Amino acid sequence: MYKAGYYDVIVVGAGHAGCEAALASARLGCKTLIITLNLDSIAMMPCNPNIGGTGKGHLVREIDALGGQMGINIDKTFIQSRMINTSKGPAVHSLRAQADKKAYQAEMKHTLELQENLTIKQDEVISIDVENGKLKGLTTRNGAYFNCKCAVLTTGTYLKGRIIIGEVNYSGGPNGMFPANELSNSLIQNGIELRRFKTGTPSRLNRRSIDFSKMEVQPGDDKIVPFSFMTDELKREQVPCYLTYTNEKTKDVIIRNINRSPLYNGTIKSIGPRYCPSFEDKIMKFPDKERHQLFIEPEGENTEEVYVQGMSSSLPEEVQIEFLRTIKGLENCEVLRTGYAIEYDCINPTQLKPSLELLFINGLFFAGQINGSSGYEEAAAQGIIAGINAALKVKGRAPLILSRAEAYIGVLIDDLVTKGTNEPYRMMTSRAEYRLLLRQDNADLRLTQKGYDIGLVTEERYKKYIERKSMIENEIGRVKKVVIPPTEENNKVLESLNSTPIKSGVYLNELLKRPEITYSDIIKLDSSHVELKPDVILEVQTQIKYEGYIKKQVEQVEQFKKMEEKLIPEDIDYSSIKGLRIEAKQKLSKIMPENIGQASRISGVSPADISVLLIYLEMRKRNTAEVKNEQ
């Protein structure tokens, strides 16, 4: 072993969490090293070739608003873009973009290579060095020892990774990569609780072997909405996806071979993702369902590989080929990569602070799938927060902690560190209590100021944010002042929109609150309007139409904040508090919540326990004050 150098922050792993963590740390001025098993695995997409989707699109927008890279990267490398859930309210509108996988990787890798303060190294971290509860450094397989103040572990699904395909199973990482087999032991030796999770991926097929004429075309949106607030406009010819369905023959193949499924014969004992199950699990759990939809998605413009979305499987290779060929359009399909399950080590995230630093090892942070989450977007969201907080710790500054009322990132991290997870965690809009306030369209209005205050948001980005914010505020103020008179001409316009004519002057914002009227409608009545960008118009329209609901949710947030502001001292001894139930004492002592709000969300802590805790804190506060007065 040799002394290989000193770094402020070392990031272990260069997946989506690692990339955001390393970039955030380096951009905040810390000397940063990112170590990855293989440079070719940087920002790899071993599963679905897309960014965004329900709930996930919100996370990408928030990463971007804070000064992250994922949104910018997908805007440069997407091949199809769609806004989903548009038939529902704006709170659940979510952007989803099909990526050119190789182009996405190459663009992110080059971004890392060009970043000041950032060094990239191909190697495997095999152990952490901890002394008196403080991280001192890391050791690699090549014999290097790196000293550091902080480290962020973003190991994804590589820790003791095991690939399972039917009766075949072997040590391996995702997508044919090597696993990381030694670091787990070092984590265990340092008192870190590990668990075993499982995920999987579908087969990849040769596009030339598919009959797309038997499938339904799924085109991209005519108007492309960017992920990044830094991207002004996107125009490109989009690559189509295709929709097809399974059938009774497909189901029959699964049922005949279910005894060969690792999920059903006991080979796989770890816990898989509830919201992205293996196809054989779908068949067995929903036996009455006649068919399941599948999306055939291109993996890039310069490859014939396509991805079968919705058909993850760990059945034997020959069974996968058989059931794929029962599907309309795939009768003669050629399998390029076989679907597989992968088991891996991850930590119990309740061992973490909301900053994503380990409770009992100073300077050691975790982000991504090692925390029990699933998905590129969830990983990147944790990565940027862990990278920011590692850098802030180096600088002696307070951590950035986003609350559930501020961001989906706050919901994600709070769920993980407070409630924990018994299965790979996936972000969904239903997890957010205040989702009308946490829309993807207003992510910059919620978070860019925070990103700027900590030093991650650039002056250019901040200037764009200020301009957009100003345009939105000015236009909302303007439409609240403009009165539309009840002229014959104006009423004809309203009648053409199936809206009730007006008998007296009406403010523009009141007209816009009518369900049948949009912003583009009211400008027909308003000669004083100014030209605005589509994203500004959307924000103005949403804020006005949902003003009453937003106001109610803001009031709820104020109540939520009161609980979050009741801080719990770090030296509290829960075992000594009379009136707390034994389970509450155990859970509170393990998770060590930072405030009453977090404590109230811990499973096993009842409202009665919170009342006892509040009384105890008030008595402690009074006793402290009395002692000070006597002195």
Give per-residue pLDDT as tens, 196-229: 999 999 999 999 999 999 999 999 999 999 999 9
On whether both 598 and 488 belong to a single domain, the answer is no
Question: Which among 454, 482, 504 is the end of a domain?
Answer: 454
| The one-letter amino acid at 573 | D
What is the pLDDT, as a whole number, of residue 628?
65
Q: In what order do the strands lie in the sheet with 94-99?
A: 50-52, 94-99, 78-84
Question: Which among 527, 555, 583 is the end of a domain?
Answer: 555
Give pLDDT tens digits for 482-500.
999 999 999 999 999 999 9
Rounded to whole angstroms, how far apart are CA atoms 73 and 269? 37
Over residues 227-240, the mean pLDDT reads 94
What is the number of structural domains in the chain?
4
On whether both 581 and 530 belong to a single domain, the answer is no
Rounded to whole angstroms, how far apart are CA atoms 440 and 449? 16
What is the pLDDT, as a whole number, of residue 500?
94
Contact between 53 and 96 (Cβ < 8 Å): yes
The CATH number that applies at residue 483 is 1.10.10.1800
pLDDT band at 82 (very low <50, low <70, confident <90, very high): very high
The two structure tokens encoding residue 458: 């650039």
What is the pLDDT, as a whole number, of residue 621?
84
Give pLDDT tens digits for 527-557.
888 889 999 999 999 999 999 999 999 999 9
Flag whether pLDDT at 629 surpasses 80: no
Residue 561 lies in a domain: no
On whether both 100 and 31 belong to a single domain, the answer is yes
What is the pLDDT, as a whole number, of residue 630?
67
- What range does the domain containing 215 cover? 204-342
**DSSP character at residue 501:** P
Flag whether pLDDT at 431 surpasses 90: yes
On whether both 226 and 258 belong to a single domain, the answer is yes
Rounded to whole angstroms, how far apart are CA atoms 603 and 583? 10
What is the pLDDT, as a whole number, of residue 627?
62
What is the pLDDT, as a whole number, of residue 268?
83
Contact between 356 and 413 (Cβ < 8 Å): yes
On whether both 169 and 66 belong to a single domain, the answer is yes
What is the pLDDT, as a whole number, of residue 620?
86
On whether both 15 and 158 belong to a single domain, the answer is yes
SS3 content of the chain, % helix, strand, coil (to 5): 40, 20, 40
| pTM score | 0.95
Over residues 448-465, the mean pLDDT reads 97
Residue 468 lies in a domain: no
On whether both 336 and 222 belong to a single domain, the answer is yes
Residue 460 lies in a domain: no
Rounded to whole angstroms, how far apart are CA atoms 328 and 211? 8
Residue 301 lies in a domain: yes
Contact between 605 and 579 (Cβ < 8 Å): no
Backbone angles phi, psi at 411, to 5 degrees: -65, -50
What is the pLDDT, as a whole number, of residue 240?
96
What is the pLDDT, as a whole number, of residue 610?
93
The CATH number that applies at residue 265 is 2.40.30.260
Q: Which of 519, 539, 541 lies closest to 442, judged by CA?
A: 539
Residue 116, number of CB atoms within 10 A of its CB = 8
Q: Under the phi-then-psi rule, with left for phi > 0, alpha for psi from -120 to 50, and beta for the rest, what region is 2?
A: beta
Residue 467 lies in a domain: no
Is residue 25 helix, strand or coil?
helix
On whether both 544 and 575 belong to a single domain, the answer is no
**DSSP character at residue 435:** T
Residue 152 lies in a domain: yes
Flag whether pLDDT at 188 surpasses 70: yes
Over residues 318-325, the mean pLDDT reads 97
Query: Mean pLDDT for the chain?
Result: 95
End-to-end alpha-carbon separation of the chain, Å? 56
Over residues 328-340, the mean pLDDT reads 97
The CATH number that applies at residue 396 is 3.50.50.60
Q: Residue 354: in which H helix or E strand, if any?
A: none
Torsion of CA 530, 533, 537, 540, to 10 degrees: -80
Could you write out the DSSP letters of every residue in 302-352? T--EEEEET----S-HHHHHHHHTTSTT-TT--EEE--EEEEEEEE-GGGB
Residue 461 lies in a domain: no
On whether both 40 and 171 belong to a single domain, the answer is yes
The CATH number that applies at residue 597 is 1.10.150.570
Residue 322 lies in a domain: yes
What is the pLDDT, as a whole number, of residue 426?
95
Flag whether pLDDT at 507 surpasses 70: yes
Flag whether pLDDT at 233 surpasses 90: no
Cross-strand pairs, 180: 159
pLDDT > 70: what percent of the chain?
99
Question: Which among 497, 527, 555 is the end of a domain?
Answer: 555
Flag whether pLDDT at 624 surpasses 80: no
Flag whether pLDDT at 631 surpasses 70: no
Flag whether pLDDT at 301 surpasses 70: yes
pLDDT band at 265 (very low <50, low <70, confident <90, very high): confident
Give pLDDT tens digits for 548-589.
999 999 999 999 999 999 999 989 999 999 999 999 999 999
On whether both 418 and 479 belong to a single domain, the answer is no
- Which residues are CB-neighbours of 213 under 8 A, at least 6 positions away? 329
On whether both 421 and 325 belong to a single domain, the answer is no
Rounded to whole angstroms, how far apart are CA atoms 259 and 248? 19
On whether both 224 and 288 belong to a single domain, the answer is yes
